[in-house]
Amino acid sequence: MTSRSVRRQEQLGLARSLRSDGQPWSAIAAVLRDRYEVNARVAMRLAHGWGQADAAAEWNRRWPDEPKTFKSFSYWENWPGDTGYTPSMIVLDRLAELYECDVTDLLTDWGSYRDRDSAHLGQAATESSIADSALESATLAWHVRNLDLQELTHAIGEWAQRIPLDDRRSLLLKLSTATAFSASSLPEVQSPTSATPATRPSTLAGYWTSRYTYWSSGRDTELAGEHRVRLTVEDGRLLGRSLPHPEGSELDLSLAVEGTVATGTWTERTSPIGYYRAATYRGVLQLVVDPTGRSMAGRWLGVSKRFTVKSGEWRLSWDGPSEHPDAHVSPA
């Protein structure tokens, strides 16, 4: 099976899983769009588990007097690129009906020019002044706690309209990453329910095999990075430093453990002789600690060299309280 086929199966599996959890099409498409860096129209089709030919067949079943082929969907999805055709408003309306979504869901990655309207800017300034006086910390916390993800995303989107278009995407990505870092750096809070031995940081100190997966756009395949890591406890946090790696890459971890969840940051300096040539990457991760305290599994989040937010699986497996001299790790 080719890497493209593997990726397609992964996309469809994720879409089915999210749908089985009751997620709306727009939310599923948003996840696919962010994780696989596809545009809004491709993401909405994938959310339904359709190829372009499947989508064309469904269109023709509904509107047989206006038949389309997979090439029609390819043209619409490649827009605004050089090989794409601009979909008309009628087409967008039909696509929204086909995908059971809003027309705006098909254009979420396209531009808005409200910021050029001086009247809109004046209204935004007035709204901002009111918001500054009204959104005290308790009120803001209430909104975050009580709005569901879709409502909160919509509210943030409305706020983001005040940011100039050229800076909007990069600033929102920077803000999301800063928020994740801030959450991971909060002091550890001990609760009565988190006192099981397996979730105390001291029980997790020792040697671990760390393995994460990531999608390489340059090589168009999913790869894995592996290190052996020693975890120690300092000021209530787990600090990890990788052991010498065959190709010279280095990994640092900082984790706070609360209940059965470990949350923190990672920094990797890649191999000076590898594909990424001694680049430094940083991000956040969250892991669920196994009840035995001998494995942790979760996901990482980080910013790529193209300034896009990416994520992947991360797993730590217990090796023991002391280093195994014959331990081996795969090149990162």
Q: Residue 198: what pLDDT?
A: 43
Measured between alpha carbons, how far is 49 from 8 in angstroms, rounded to an integer?
10
**pLDDT classification of 140: cutoffs 50, 70, 90:** low
Q: Tens of pLDDT along 247-269?
A: 888 999 999 998 888 999 999 99
pLDDT mean over 133-156: 56
Closest to 223 measured CA to CA, from 105, 321, 164, 310: 310
Measured between alpha carbons, how far is 118 from 105 in angstroms, rounded to an integer?
27
Q: Are residues 99 and 197 in the same domain?
A: no
Whether residue 148 is contained in a domain is answered as no
Q: Residue 219: what pLDDT?
A: 78
Q: Tens of pLDDT along 284-327?
A: 999 998 877 888 999 998 877 777 778 889 999 998 886 554 44
Domain stop point among 53, 71, 106: 106
Q: Residue 250: what pLDDT?
A: 93
- Compute CA distances 307 → 38, 55, 169, 173, whole Å: 15, 32, 10, 8
Q: Is the pLDDT of residue 134 over 60?
A: no
Whether residue 154 is contained in a domain is answered as no
Whether residue 273 is contained in a domain is answered as yes
Name the more confident of 135 and 243: 243
Q: Are residues 199 and 102 in the same domain?
A: no
pTM of the predicted protein model = 0.41
Cα dihedral value 92, 95, 96, 98, nearest 10 = 160
Domain stop point among 64, 86, 106: 106
Q: At 280, give phi and psi (nearest 5°).
A: -110, 125
Range of the domain at 269: 192-320
In percent, the amount of the chain with pLDDT more than 90 equals 31
Q: Tens of pLDDT along 12-36?
A: 888 998 888 888 999 999 899 888 8
Whether residue 202 is contained in a domain is answered as yes
Q: Residue 245: what pLDDT?
A: 83
Whether residue 87 is contained in a domain is answered as yes
Q: Residue 128: what pLDDT?
A: 47
Q: Tens of pLDDT along 195-234?
A: 344 457 888 899 999 999 988 877 788 888 999 999 999 9
Whether residue 122 is contained in a domain is answered as no
Domain count of the chain? 2
pLDDT mean over 166-176: 73
Whether residue 112 is contained in a domain is answered as no
Q: Are residues 204 and 100 in the same domain?
A: no
Q: Are residues 202 and 313 in the same domain?
A: yes
Q: Residue 247: what pLDDT?
A: 80
What CATH number is given to the structural domain containing 249? Answer: 2.40.160
Q: Residue 210: what pLDDT?
A: 94
Query: How high is the mean pLDDT of the chain?
Result: 79
Q: Is the pLDDT of residue 86 over 90?
A: no
Whether residue 313 is contained in a domain is answered as yes
Domain stop point among 106, 125, 157: 106
Q: Residue 323: what pLDDT?
A: 59
